[in-house]
Structure 1
């Protein structure tokens, strides 16, 4: 069972506005502290973790209201899913609307990651369709266009990464063809990311072509290990299907880590659960994450809990902070595995 920190505390009670905010932030909440593990003499994690909450779990709120809620609760940032209700990437005047959101984030002191997992933003009849793997080249181009738009939005917002995923393998498509399509369709997105100076963080997603950390490394090698290509690590997905425990996944993923999503989950079941409702032991995960020197956002992802989004946002932050405090008093941090120049054969990563 999950280890639930601060059990004596009201889980719905967040800190007062402005309290316990991470001081290691510049404008837009971007990290300013130096990367890398640091001494841990007084129960402080080597690198202060920065927690966010995903707007896909606040879909019933206006974006301005969602951002204000997260700032009031004391979050460091937001995982902003571009969707019809939250900074619609296909509606007119995207640049002007993006500037307004950038100003709002700046005013509230929130960092941001741009996420692209909206279910029906491109097609009202196909969940997450069309994908990068679609048999129709025009449909694949629509997904590429969405991701390139997301890169531009991320650059204008000062986001630390753009998240995306591969999609499922279409019926009648063999895997070799699917991998070829994925490499081809991501190439212009990576070019845009390189030009904008914003990493593209691909997420291994259960049931998708790119489902595991091993699959991410296959893509990385196929593309020649381009500098803009990074990884979104979903901690729940590690619990669900990776062979290693989540904390070990964090250490193995460290050289490529650009974005982190977090929720609870059970082994073999792809269901995003509120923190404490599944099987993950969170302090070792957060200790491993801090030891890597990761300075992006760690974003709570509860997309099926929007009906009670404010409640779960208020509950999640005290849980994570309690787990981080527990981690800080544990055994000294283990250095991350490998480095960005390590070959797959020279490290524990595939």
Structure 2
């Protein structure tokens, strides 16, 4: 078993921070201009878990977001519901009416097992348990195809106790085979996320999987900018440039080195203008989705702060200006987080 060290899972919710200060392009060092593609920003529904899905989508549209990272979970779009196709059709109509793009995410904590966070995984020793995770991903691919999503996100899971890494990598590759077949048939990329503490934790790990599977065309990468800051050897902007050819989905938040804690913008150590400049220069056309799952207690507040921050940090030829229709003021978060999940 490998002795490599990864940061621990997220700690408990910190106390509510002061609002971040959006960066100024005037303060950023001068850089050579590279061809770029306008960035499209979204917000993850796992950071709006206290809202009904209709309300969450309306909020994001009113704030001016381009899309949504839709986590399949019981409180929003339940992937195990008997009437999933009908529910998906209603969501598709709602997204179209609001003009929102979508990525389908599969990081719900307890959607398959009420006792095991993110369990079962693609690495579990029990073949039936692995099959349950595969089934979830197959359902996610069908949902993504019906929604017109630009990608389906997934991750490996943590190394099970008593399992050596070679065995775990074989399980991961074997488990993803039918999912990639379904993704190919549906024309929806599968975007695997390197996750701190998981078997597939780094960009190097993603490339190991890609080579093992024979570099299938529909296998792409979910790059989480905070995770780059947390544990990658390269700075986040360099990670973006290195990952460019495989990018299919991007998640974004602030983070500190060596600490896997998703933070609101301005609370961590990331310098965002060079990161977003590098992302635009790759030509990436999917959504860049704010990932603050532990801030649902104040989700509308953070959604309201995050988009202006990102727009101020983006290259000048980035996203279109915000809508001119008036937006209702959003409430401030409570001083003590409620319902935080360790």
- TM-score when scaled to structure 1? 0.82
Residue 46, structure 1, aligned to residue 46, structure 2: no
Q: Shift of the alpha carbon at 1:327?
A: 8.8
Q: Summarize the Cα distance change of 1:3–1:289 in structure 2 as closer, same or farther, 3 Å threshold.
A: farther
Task: Give the superposed CA RMSD.
Answer: 1.7
| CA deviation vs aligned residue, 1:180-200 (integer Å, no higher than 9, x gap) | 000000000000000000000
In structure 1, what is the equivalent of residue 247 of structure 2? 257
Q: Shift of the alpha carbon at 1:325?
A: 4.4
In structure 2, what is the equivalent of residue 157 of structure 1? 147
Match of 2:107 among 89, 92, 117: 117
Which structure 1 residue ranges, 4+ long, deviate > 6 Å from structure 2?
A: none
Q: Shift of the alpha carbon at 1:326?
A: 6.5
Q: Summarize the Cα distance change of 1:280–1:326 in structure 2 as closer, same or farther, 3 Å threshold.
A: farther
Match of 1:5 among 2, 15, 23: 23
Match of 1:228 among 218, 221, 224: 218
Q: Shift of the alpha carbon at 1:142?
A: 0.2
Asked if the contact 2:159/2:199 (under 8 Å) is kept, the reply is yes
1:1-350 equivalence runs, <5 A = 4-5=22-23, 46-325=36-315
List alignment gaps of at least 5 residues for structure 2. 1-19, 26-31, 319-342
- TM-score when scaled to structure 2? 0.83
In structure 1, what is the equivalent of residue 322 of structure 2? none
Asked if the contact 2:155/2:195 (under 8 Å) is kept, the reply is yes
Q: Shift of the alpha carbon at 1:276?
A: 1.0
Distance in 2 (alpha carbons) for counterparts of 1:66 and 1:142: 28
May I ask how many residue pairs the two structures share in their alignment? Answer: 293
| CA deviation vs aligned residue, 1:284-322 (integer Å, no higher than 9, x gap) | 000000000000000000000000000000000000000
Structure with bigger RCO (C-alpha 8 Å, 6+ apart)? 2
SS at match of 2:314: helix
Asked if the contact 2:253/2:292 (under 8 Å) is kept, the reply is yes
Q: Shift of the alpha carbon at 1:46?
A: 2.1
Distance in 1 (alpha carbons) for counterparts of 2:165 and 2:315: 44
Asked if the contact 1:284/1:327 (under 8 Å) is kept, the reply is no
Distance in 2 (alpha carbons) for counterparts of 1:3 and 1:223: 44
Distance in 1 (alpha carbons) for counterparts of 2:33 and 2:231: 32
List alignment gaps of at least 5 residues for structure 1. 8-38, 329-350
